[in-house]
Amino acid sequence: MIRFFRRFRRKSPIFPPPPTPNPRDYASNAALLWLEEEIDALRSPIFDSYAYARSLQGCIANGDRMRGGGVHCHALKRGGCLDLFCWNILLNMYVKFGVLVGACNVFDEMPERNMVSFVTLIQGLADLGEFDEAVELFRRLHSEGHELNKFVFTTALKLFVIMDSPELGRHVHAGVYKLGHEKNAFVGSSLIETYSLCGLVNEARRVFDEIIYKDIVAWTGMVSCYAENDWAESALRLFSKMRKARLNPNNFTLTSVLKASVSLWSLKLGKSIHGCSIKCHYETDPYVGGALLDMYAKCGDVEDARLVFDIIPHNDVILWSFMIARYAQSNQNEEALELFLRMMRSSVVPNEFSLSSVLQACANVVSLKLGVQVHSHVVKIGYDSEIFVANALIDVYAKCGEMEASLEIFSQLPHINEVSWNTVIVGYVQLGLGEDALKVFNQMRNAEVEGTQVTYSSTLRACASIATIEQASQLHALIAKTPFNDDTVVSNSLIDTYAKSGSIADARKVFDVVKERDVISWNAMISGYAIHGLASDALSLFDEMCKTRIKANDVTFVGVLSVCSNIGLVQRGLSFFNSMKSVHGIEPCMEHYTCMVRLLGRSGRLNDAMKFIEEIPSEPTPMVWRALLSACLVHKNVEIGKLCAEKVLEIEPQDETTYVLLSNMYATAGIWDEVALVRKSMRSKGVKKEPGLSWIEILGEVHCFSVGDESHPDMRSIKAMLEWLNIRINRAGYVPDSSVVLHDVGEDQKTRLLWVHSERLALAFGLIRIPHGYPIRIMKNLRFCLDCHAAFKMVSKVVKRDIVVRDINRFHHFAGGNCSCGDYW
């Protein structure tokens, strides 16, 4: 579809249109006739020049270039009939029409020149960007001894401002001072503007104070000088002084003070300036309106901004884009889309900003349908290769899970920037496709595109999602060579990635060298300790954090409370939970409640946990009930467990984990009828078991195993290893717990099924390939199975190896026959 439209999109026609006769040609001829008649009638050289001047001024006023040229020719033919006044008008005409060659020729041919001639040509040269010539002419004006008056000075100052060389203005200031023009409001305002541009606010103020009769331009110049240079308070103080002097502001004054109130983040000030602009009838001025919109959007809320938007005339695409962007940024997507539709119905043509903002709204609501509609419109109006818009399109498709469409747009872009790369990487990470994200990152490096903060932090997230410690440390080495080594956001991602990839020690190393730790750094480290079951480290880090000026937030408490629930610190957990609201002012959310239920459940206080759940102000989520169900399994409380399972299945009837937990619970309690019923119910509801997958990384290569998977090339040695492990751990006292197998098969078969669980295949492969002394790290996509957990504990004792398994919830460190989770997860 994209290619199809591309062929038909053409911005300019191939053939120029045929020339059409200009109706002004006839008029010009008529005017020349009139001119001739007038000159003939007057028959006097003095009046000749006067007539030419009038005629030329008429041409300038009407923009009639053709007739102007005719009058010039006429005068040339007569010869020597123009006076200096008329020559200057002729020069001004060429300047006004932008014919620089004509203007320079006239200037050279002039029999005499005065200050006006110079100033006129200097302005013309400046307008067309011929700055060197303009400065040279200014020098000539001075050296030829022409009058240096306020017009000359203001022209020169304006020239330096356009040239962006305000330092030249200082020389002019000296001249101004010598000739006593500094008290003039006209010259003074230009000097203020020049100094404002160099950031010399005090100099500007000195000039302002010298001006005797300050007009509104001078006041506005000084107020805007303060506002532009971030002297917001001074700007507002001067503004109120100006109001006391009974001067009414103009639209530029109001725009400047609004800007000042934005930099002070003061909605109150902004509102009073809004009131002032209503009193002065400027509230519908497009400049003031734009500034008001900006002020309300930044200091107030988006509703206030909308009220302003509805009042001001919005035939300007910038105001529309601004409003749409605000809605999209504040996640008010319906409003953004509605406004975009209204804009499309008006005469305003969307630009790249309005298009990319409306696409952001489509991405926020994950609406492929809307995204495709905007996309086809983008193609129609020829914005699809505009980088801003294309990146927004890539994002929409990625968010909707259509990576192929994203890649198609990406590959057809003529100029790809780092944002395009980042959008694709983030897209893969969000879809949980960490390996693809890493591939794109490598391509980006091969294309020699510099990575940004987003690139590194999202690529690290990709590493964390697939728990690849080797890739993470390679990336770390790479980051160390970039300016992002000291970047807090990237460092936080590093801490999180190391923790989630199983190396808590590396995470701590990074944490210790972060230059400016923020709350996310602390949270990453505390939750890192929590998922590794390192309770004392986590709690002492939390104590340390409380001593800094960084305030704990809701995420910090999820980490702290899960630490308490991991090791059963009931009293501490309760006091942390109570302090959340009373000391730290944090309203507990469902995750905190879940932690508390786990904590109470784990310590066997199942009834307290039930009571706790009843007191949760909102409807408890399945997460809360599952936490209590796990506790019931450990403490063999069938009654409450059954209730929990019912609650979960009411909301999520297809939740496989709950069936497994329920079945395990009945099996442990020896209620075999119920076990059979659970299986039956699973079958009748068509619950699909999410296939269990386990990964192990060996020498940078990730090997994936699924249940009963025999496709691995080393399967023979893996089977032999499993057989050997089976014998060894049975001898050491391991008793298989076949209750975790939900299939209706014989006991023998069940035991055999246990031995093809994906985590065991990965473990056997790791034992074969990873040399002694190195830990074996495995990642699993589901909850660690009960029986495999028991087997792993035994294996760690028999083979004397450290085994680290990351399941969907946390890390299990097996060593010497024990697990860091304390058999509770």
- Binding region for Zn ion (CB under 5 A): 757, 785, 788, 812, 819, 821
Number of H helices, E strands in the chain: 44, 6
**Min. distance of Cβ 813 from Zn ion in angstroms?**
8
**Min. distance of Cβ 707 from Zn ion in angstroms?**
9
**Min. distance of Cβ 769 from Zn ion in angstroms?**
21
Which is nearest to 761 in space by CA: 822, 708, 702? 708
Query: Cα separation of 177 and 791, whole Å?
Result: 93
**Min. distance of Cβ 756 from Zn ion in angstroms?**
9
CB nearer to Zn ion: give 606 or 786: 786
CB nearer to Zn ion: give 57 or 809: 809
CB nearer to Zn ion: give 528 or 620: 528
**Min. distance of Cβ 424 from Zn ion in angstroms?**
37
- Report how far apart the first and last C-alpha atoms of the chain are (Å, whole number): 51
- Residue 426 tokens read as 């983030």
- Tally Cβ neighbours within 10 Å of residue 16: 7
**Min. distance of Cβ 609 from Zn ion in angstroms?**
21
Burial class (CB in 10 A: 0-12, 13-18, 19+), 273: buried
Bridge partners of 718, per DSSP, are none
| Contact status, residue 317 vs residue 324, Cβ threshold 8 Å | no
**Min. distance of Cβ 810 from Zn ion in angstroms?**
8
Query: Cα separation of 391 and 418, whole Å?
Result: 10
CB nearer to Zn ion: give 396 or 819: 819
CB nearer to Zn ion: give 492 or 758: 758
Instruction: Give the torsion sign (CA, 392, 393, 396, 402).
Output: negative
CB nearer to Zn ion: give 626 or 813: 813
CB nearer to Zn ion: give 532 or 592: 532
Greatest distance between any 2 Cα atoms in the chain:
132
CB nearer to Zn ion: give 702 or 707: 707
| Contact status, residue 740 vs residue 786, Cβ threshold 8 Å | yes
CB nearer to Zn ion: give 666 or 814: 814
**Min. distance of Cβ 815 from Zn ion in angstroms?**
11
| Contact status, residue 399 vs residue 406, Cβ threshold 8 Å | no
| Contact status, residue 153 vs residue 176, Cβ threshold 8 Å | yes
Centroid of chain to Cα 280: 38
CB nearer to Zn ion: give 334 or 823: 823
Residue 587 to residues 116, 529, 581, 592: CA-CA distances in angstroms?
73, 24, 6, 10
Interior angle at CA 442, CA 439 and CA 446, nearest 5: 140
CB nearer to Zn ion: give 175 or 708: 708
**Min. distance of Cβ 660 from Zn ion in angstroms?**
11
Residue 702 to residues 224, 439, 777: CA-CA distances in angstroms?
61, 14, 11
Query: Cα separation of 429 and 437, whole Å?
Result: 6
Query: Cα separation of 274 and 615, whole Å?
Result: 48
CB nearer to Zn ion: give 205 or 757: 757
**Min. distance of Cβ 819 from Zn ion in angstroms?**
3
**Min. distance of Cβ 630 from Zn ion in angstroms?**
13
**Min. distance of Cβ 823 from Zn ion in angstroms?**
6
CB nearer to Zn ion: give 170 or 712: 712
CB nearer to Zn ion: give 319 or 788: 788
Give start and end residues of each alpha helix (H) in 313-367. 317-329, 333-345, 352-364
The secondary element (H helix, E strand) that includes residue 693 is: strand 693-698
**Min. distance of Cβ 505 from Zn ion in angstroms?**
19
**Min. distance of Cβ 713 from Zn ion in angstroms?**
23
Query: Cα separation of 341 and 348, whole Å?
Result: 11
- Which strands sit side by side in the sheet containing 818-819, from one edge to the other? 701-706, 693-698, 776-780, 803-806, 811-815, 818-819
**Min. distance of Cβ 824 from Zn ion in angstroms?**
8
Length of the chain: 825
Instruction: Give the torsion sign (CA, 542, 543, 547, 552).
Output: positive
**Min. distance of Cβ 568 from Zn ion in angstroms?**
14
CB nearer to Zn ion: give 476 or 812: 812
Which is nearest to 751 in space by CA: 742, 763, 741? 741
Query: Cα separation of 351 and 792, whole Å?
Result: 60
Residue 447 to residues 419, 442, 506, 792: CA-CA distances in angstroms?
14, 9, 30, 45
Q: Which long-range contacts (CB under 8 A, 24 or more apart) does 66-72 make?
A: 66/22, 66/24, 66/25, 66/28, 67/24, 67/27, 67/28, 67/31, 67/32, 68/93, 68/97, 70/28, 70/29, 70/31, 70/32, 71/32, 71/35
Bridge partners of 697, per DSSP, are 702
Query: Cα separation of 123 and 158, whole Å?
Result: 9
CB nearer to Zn ion: give 508 or 757: 757
CB nearer to Zn ion: give 580 or 665: 665
**Min. distance of Cβ 538 from Zn ion in angstroms?**
17
